[in-house]
Each structure stands twice: as C-alpha cells, then as structure tokens.
C-alpha cells in the first residue's frame, strides 16, 4: 500500500524537494540567518507530514473502495476522473464476462438438449436390432438400414460438437457435386429400394467447397426426402449452378417452413411421424452458411417438397 501511495504522489514530493532545495539555496546565496532556515524547514516538514497523513488516509480508502467497489457506501469515495475511468473499465469487463457466461450457459443447455434427443433417437434403431436378434429375423437389408440410422445420428452429434466448439476443419477445393450426390445415392440405395423410390440425377456443378461438409449437408436433405416420401415415390436431383432436390412426399405445412432450420424444431411432420430430431436441418443450415451457400424450401402438402441450394450472392 505504501509503495503504491509513493508512486501515486511521487511528482508531488519531487516538487516539494525541488522547492525546499531552492529555498535552502536562496538562504545560502543571500547569507540569511540559519535560525530562519531551520524554522522554515521545520514548519514545511510538519505541514508535509500532516498533508501526507491526510493524503494517505484518503488514498487507502480509495484503494479499498476500488478493490470492493460493489458496496454503495464506497462509491462516493471514487469521485476522481481516474477512479471513474477505472470503474467504467471494470464494469465493461464484468459485462463482457457476464455475456460470455450466458453464451457458455446457452451452449451447455443446447448440448444437453442435443444429447438427450440423440440418446432418445439412438434407442430406436438399437431396439430394432435387438428385436431382430431375439426373433432371429436378421435380414441384411434391415440390419443395414438400422446401422445407417445409427451412423447418421452419430454423425449429427459429432458434427454438432465440431460446429459449436468451432473445431470444424473446412478445406475448400474444386468439387464435382454430381460425384458427391452419386456417392450419397449409393449410400442410401437400400432405402430407395425398400420404399420403391426412383431417383434421377441431371446435370453437374463444379463448385469450390469442402467435399466432406457438403456431403454431410446433402445427406440430411436426401435422408428427409426418403423419410417423408411415399412408397413408390420419386426423388429428382438437378445440378445446374445450384442444387435442387425434389421429392413426392407428404409435404410441409406452410407455417412450419420459416422455422425448419431452427434448432430443435421438428414441425408437424416430425411430431406426427416421430422421425425427426430437430437438429438435422439446423446443422445443414449452419454448414451451408460456412460454405457460403444459401438454402430455401418450397413445399405443398401431399404433393412434395423442393430444397434448393445456391451460392450466396
């Protein structure tokens, strides 16, 4: 505390020493009586000691108030411009910390909701596989279908964690989108066959993007096109300076479309058919934003849905 006090008022004491030295020099040059000099120095020293005691008392109170300025009774002591500047700085830091804590709390709540939903969804294919095993009814196509669902749910969780923790590794390169789409159709071929859904792929699009993340985003859309399609339906994929994926499924309510990409939103179809986690399209939107791609949806009940992806202008 004393060292801080000296640093705070060092210019004041330096000025006093300069004045005292000048005073002594004048007495010496004019050969004034030494008794006058001694009395003058004693008086000035007494005054400086009393002034130091008063200044130190105020300084100590100010320092204590700064260390714990949350007490309202201490605030009147902090009335100097430098004190107010410190208070504003501290308050700004506290506000930034509060905002950061709110962000972390929101992320934690979102993660808990995601894990809860994910664990609930994981039980469905696991229960199906368990039932197949118990009834000795392990058909390869059915097993592959459930394993694909498990793989998709796991990918959703891992990619959600990557995006929320800003640990995603985007690597942009020239990609032929048709190749990505063909690989995804092959991945879902059993589902296409099980529901007797035909698929067509027209055109191509050479795009500078991240192949892995684009594949993930498109997989969510194709998965929905299969999930909510009718038996014997169709999926049409067109590639021409953009991506258009159309299906002949059950369609989406008009009031649900604006919220399709909200986190955790399942809409009427998800609640009615118990197939949605509410995170697939949310992750798709986030990934496409990172890839500088825009997504839009048009749909008509009992007619079908078209999802369009274009470059952000």
CATH, residue 250: 3.30.565.10
Domain hosting residue 275, numbered range? 104-311
Give the separation between CA 206 and CA 221, rounded to whole angstroms.
20
Q: 121, exposed or middle or buried, with CB in 10 Å at 0-12, 13-18, 19+? A: buried
DSSP state of 234: E
Task: Please tell me the predicted confidence (pLDDT) of residue 235.
Answer: 97
- Domain for residue 84, yes or no? no
* Residue 187 and residue 288 in one domain: yes
What SS3 class is residue 214? helix
Q: 259, exposed or middle or buried, with CB in 10 Å at 0-12, 13-18, 19+? A: exposed
Task: Please tell me the predicted confidence (pLDDT) of residue 9.
Answer: 78
280, 220 Cβ separation under 8 angstroms: yes
- Domain for residue 37, yes or no? yes
* Residue 131 and residue 187 in one domain: yes
* Residue 65 and residue 205 in one domain: no
- Domain for residue 281, yes or no? yes
* Residue 290 and residue 185 in one domain: yes
Closest CA to 236 of 225, 246, 226, 249: 246
- Domain for residue 188, yes or no? yes
| Boundary residue ending a domain (63, 79, 95) | 79
Task: Give pLDDT tens digits along the chain (313 positions).
Answer: 778 777 777 888 888 888 888 878 888 777 777 777 788 888 888 888 888 888 888 878 777 766 665 444 444 545 566 666 666 777 788 888 888 888 888 778 777 777 777 777 788 888 888 888 888 888 888 888 888 888 888 888 888 888 877 656 789 999 999 999 999 999 999 899 989 999 999 999 999 999 999 999 999 999 999 999 999 999 999 999 999 999 999 999 999 999 998 877 776 655 554 455 567 888 899 999 999 999 999 999 999 999 999 999 7
Specify the number of domains making up the chain: 2
Task: Please tell me the predicted confidence (pLDDT) of residue 89.
Answer: 75
Residue 197 neighbours by CB distance under 10 Å: 21
* Residue 155 and residue 274 in one domain: yes
Closest CA to 66 of 55, 78, 56: 78
The separation between CA 182 and the C-alpha centre of its own chain, rounded to angstroms, equals: 33
* Residue 34 and residue 175 in one domain: no
- Domain for residue 97, yes or no? no
* Residue 67 and residue 153 in one domain: no
- Domain for residue 92, yes or no? no
- Domain for residue 122, yes or no? yes
* Residue 160 and residue 307 in one domain: yes
* Residue 182 and residue 297 in one domain: yes
- Domain for residue 187, yes or no? yes
Token digits of residue 131: 């039932």
DSSP per-residue codes, 252-286:
--TTTGGGTTSTT--HHHHHHHT---S-HHHHHHH
* Residue 247 and residue 302 in one domain: yes
pTM of the model: 0.63
* Residue 117 and residue 57 in one domain: no
Token digits of residue 73: 């009774």
Task: Please tell me the predicted confidence (pLDDT) of residue 158.
Answer: 84
Task: Please tell me the predicted confidence (pLDDT) of residue 209.
Answer: 96
Task: Please tell me the predicted confidence (pLDDT) of residue 249.
Answer: 94
Task: Please tell me the predicted confidence (pLDDT) of residue 73.
Answer: 46
* Residue 22 and residue 68 in one domain: yes
| Boundary residue ending a domain (37, 62, 79) | 79
DSSP state of 29: H
């Amino acid at each position: 505390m004393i060292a801080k006090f000296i640093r705070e008022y060092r210019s004041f004491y330096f000025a006093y020493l300069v004045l005292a030295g000048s005073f002594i020099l004048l007495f010496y040059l004019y050969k004034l009586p030494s008794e006058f000099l001694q009395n003058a120095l004693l008086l000035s020293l007494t005054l400086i000691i009393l002034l130091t005691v008063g200044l130190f008392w105020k300084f100590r109170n100010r320092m204590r108030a700064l260390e714990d300025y949350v007490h309202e009774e201490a605030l009147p002591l902090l009335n100097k411009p430098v004190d107010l500047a410190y208070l504003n700085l501290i308050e700004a830091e506290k506000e930034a910390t509060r905002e950061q804590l709110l962000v972390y709390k929101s992320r934690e709540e979102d993660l808990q909701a995601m894990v809860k939903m994910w664990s609930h969804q994981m039980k469905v294919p696991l229960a199906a596989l368990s039932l197949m095993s118990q009834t000795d009814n392990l058909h390869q196509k059915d097993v592959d279908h459930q394993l694909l669902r498990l793989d998709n749910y796991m990918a959703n969780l891992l990619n959600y964690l990557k995006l929320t923790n800003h640990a995603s590794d985007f690597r942009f390169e020239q990609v032929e989108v048709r190749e990505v789409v063909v690989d995804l159709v092959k991945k879902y071929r059993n589902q296409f066959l099980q529901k007797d859904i035909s698929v067509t792929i027209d055109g191509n699009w050479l795009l500078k993007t991240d192949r892995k993340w684009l594949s993930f985003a498109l997989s969510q859309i194709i998965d929905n096109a299969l999930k909510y399609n009718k038996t014997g339906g169709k999926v049409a994929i067109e590639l021409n300076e953009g991506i258009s994926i159309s299906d002949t499924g059950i369609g989406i309510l008009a009031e649900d479309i604006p919220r399709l990409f909200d986190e955790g939103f399942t809409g009427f179809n998800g609640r009615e058919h118990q197939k949605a986690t509410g995170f697939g399209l949310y992750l798709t939107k986030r990934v496409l934003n990172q890839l500088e791609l825009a997504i839009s949806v048009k749909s008509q009940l009992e007619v079908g849905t078209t999802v369009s992806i274009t470059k952000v202008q």
